[in-house]
Amino acid sequence: MNVFEAVKQSVTTRQAAEHYGIRVGRNGMACCPFHNDKTPSMKLDRRYYCFGCGADGDVIDFAAALYGLGKKEAAVQLAQDFGLSYEDWKPPGKAKKPKPRQKSPEEAFHPRFVEALQKQAQVEYLLDVLLFGETEEKAALITDYGKDVIQLEQRMAELAAADAARTKKHHERHAAAPEH
C-alpha cells in the first residue's frame, strides 16, 4: 500500500492534531490552528472541518496545512511520526540502457590519429615552406620528404581501395530482394 493509503487507514485527523500538540476536547472540538481562534471551532475526527474559517480535509490535508508542506511530504511526515510502513511507489520508467564503457585515453583514439596530431605543427611548417618559401627551400623539402610523400600517397590509395571494397560488399549483402 502506498503512503497515502497507509496514513489515511491508520491515522485520524484527531490523532494527528493531538500528536502535534493541539488540545482536542472530548467532543472532538479544538481551536483552529489556521486562524486566530479563541473558542473551539474546529471539529476533528477522521476528517476535520472549521466552522470559523471553512478549512476542511483529511489527515494529510491537515498536516500539509499545519506545516506548509505538499501532500506527499505531509503524508511521508505522518507515516514517519506514527511509525507506519508503506511501499514507496516510483513511476515506471524507461528501461535504462547500459552506458557504453568509457575508453581510456590510450584506447580512445587510433594510434595513427594520435601520431598525426603530434605532427600537426611539423605539417603546418612544411606547408608554409611549400606555399611561401624560396625556391631553394622548396627543392630541399621535396628532396628530403619526397619518399615520405610517395609512401603516404600509396597508403591513402590502399585505404581508399579497402573502403570501396567494404562499401561494395555491404551494398551487395543489403541489396533489395527481387520482387515476386
Exposure pattern of 87-101 as b/e (b: 16+ CB <10 Å)?
A: eeeeeeeeeeeeeee
Q: 48-50 and 42-44 as β-strands: parallel, antiparallel, unpaired?
A: antiparallel
> What does the angle CA 41 – CA 47 – CA 49 come to, to the nearest 5 degrees?
25
Sign of CA dihedral 126, 106, 97, 174: positive
What is the pLDDT, as a whole number, of residue 45?
93
The residue type of 128 is D
Grid cell listed for 161: 581501395
Instruction: Give residue-wise pLDDT tens across range 153-167.
Output: 898 899 899 889 888
Contact predicate 125/138, CB 8 Å: no
Q: What gap in Å lies between CA 65 and CA 97, rounded to an integer?
A: 41
Q: For a pLDDT cut of 70, what percent of the chain falls above it? A: 87
Domains, in order of start, for the chain: 3-81 (3.90.580.10), 105-173 (no CATH)
